[in-house]
Amino acid sequence: GHSEGLNHSLPCKLALALALSINGSIKLFTLIQVSVGKSGGKSNYGCGFLPSVYGAVPFRNKGDPILYLSNPKGYDKEAQRAALDTLKRLNQQTLDDMADPETAARIQAYETAYRLQSSAPELMDLSQESQATLDAYNIKDVKETSFARNCLLGRRLLERDVRFVQLFHEAWDQHSNLDKNLRKNCLDTDQPFAALIQDLKDRGMLKDTLVVWGGEFGRTPMAQGTDDGRDHHNRAFTIILAGGGIKAGIVHGGTDDFGFNVVENPVHVHDLNATLLHTLGFDHERLTYRFQGRDFRLTDVHGNVVKNILA
């Protein structure tokens, strides 16, 4: 898990460093979650020390996908536009006087929300998808919340030029009931994840889309106590990369016979981040952001690009 302490923003820094501009209708960083109450909360998708304009737009599971997407009765688009224009002028005066980046972020947030009112409903309408596509993702009901549905929504967001989409699937912290719970999680995720990659490939999008599957740590190779669970394990675990300039069909690195320690081609999280940034066209040693009097890199003062996995 992540604490809420000062500067504990590493979980989100990589994602949000990629946020360089705003798409014409939908914000470039969108979060889709299967359920609420995830461990870590906003630290999983917040913007850390970057201005809030780079934060995620969370999509909800029920009702309007985004809060206040629909106007209240008696409040039409013309009245809303007039109110937003007035508010923008007031905020702009503050921005001109104070040069506060958070005020600029607030102006952008209002405009993004306004544009989302017209673009989000069409985006969320999965009835436009063919039955073959729904079957490939194993979507039984287009209105039912599921990881499969979210994978398909993720593809639709990417088609609309959203640059970063984050999908959550939780309940992997299996300190007990591993056999039952792991099977359920695999049934929830295996087919949709594979379908997403194949769908992106079939549409010619995979070569320009980097897909990253992973978590913050692995699980121990041995049982936890007398129960059939597994404890947290950060000494060896797996991250899956696909598309976006990564070689297909290879395994990089290896563990001992027990799966406990890495014994071949170890990759630190800074190396992973350096590699992801490289595939996206960034030099991780030059990409910095000044905060609290110093220039921060997304790889701290470490990190090497893992060239063996690059296509």
The pLDDT tens digits of the residues spanning 3-60 come to 444 454 444 444 433 434 434 444 555 666 654 445 667 777 777 777 777 777 777 7
Residue 223 sits in the same domain as residue 86: no
Number of helices and strands in the chain (H, E): 7, 11
Residue 183, domain member (yes or no): no
Residue 263 sits in the same domain as residue 220: yes
Residue 245 sits in the same domain as residue 97: no
Residue 305 CB coordination number (10 Å): 20
Q: Are 293 and 278 in contact (CB under 8 A)?
A: no
Residue 237, domain member (yes or no): yes
> How many domains does the chain fold into?
2
Q: Give CA angle at 152 (136, 71), nearest 5°.
A: 145
Query: Across the strands, what pairs with 310?
Result: 246
Model confidence at 1: pLDDT above 70 = no
Residue 180, domain member (yes or no): no
Residue 143 sits in the same domain as residue 231: no
Residue 3 sits in the same domain as residue 151: yes
pTM of the full structure = 0.83
Q: Are 305 and 274 in contact (CB under 8 A)?
A: yes
Model confidence at 216: pLDDT above 80 = yes
Residue 3 sits in the same domain as residue 136: yes
pLDDT at 33: 60
Domain C-terminal end among 137, 170, 203: 170
- Mean model confidence pLDDT for the chain: 84
Residue 219 sits in the same domain as residue 106: no
Domain C-terminal end among 170, 202, 234: 170
Residue 246 sits in the same domain as residue 121: no
Residue 67 sits in the same domain as residue 194: no
Closest of 297, 205, 300, 263 to residue 17, by C-alpha: 297
Round to whole Å and give the CA distance between 111 and 171: 35
Pseudo-torsion of CA 255, 256, 261, 266, nearest 10°?
-40
Residues in the chain: 311
**Averaged pLDDT, 131-139:** 97
Model confidence at 257: pLDDT above 90 = yes
Round to whole Å and give the CA distance between 309 and 191: 24
Residue 179, domain member (yes or no): no
Cα distances from 196 to residues 56, 124, 131, in angstroms, run 21, 16, 15
pLDDT tens per residue across span 143-181: 888 899 999 999 998 998 888 888 888 889 999 999 999
Residue 237 sits in the same domain as residue 299: yes
Residue 95, domain member (yes or no): yes
Residue 151 sits in the same domain as residue 207: no
pLDDT at 62: 63
Tell me what percent of the residues of the chain surpass a pLDDT of 90.
50
Model confidence at 218: pLDDT above 90 = yes
Round to whole Å and give the CA distance between 43 and 209: 24
Residue 59, domain member (yes or no): yes
pLDDT at 19: 39
pLDDT tens per residue across span 259-294: 999 999 999 999 999 999 999 999 999 998 888 899
Domain C-terminal end among 170, 205, 224: 170
Domain coverage including residue 274: 189-311
C-alpha distance across the termini of the chain, in Å: 33
Residue 79, domain member (yes or no): yes
pLDDT at 16: 38
Residue 74, domain member (yes or no): yes
Residue 161 sits in the same domain as residue 111: yes
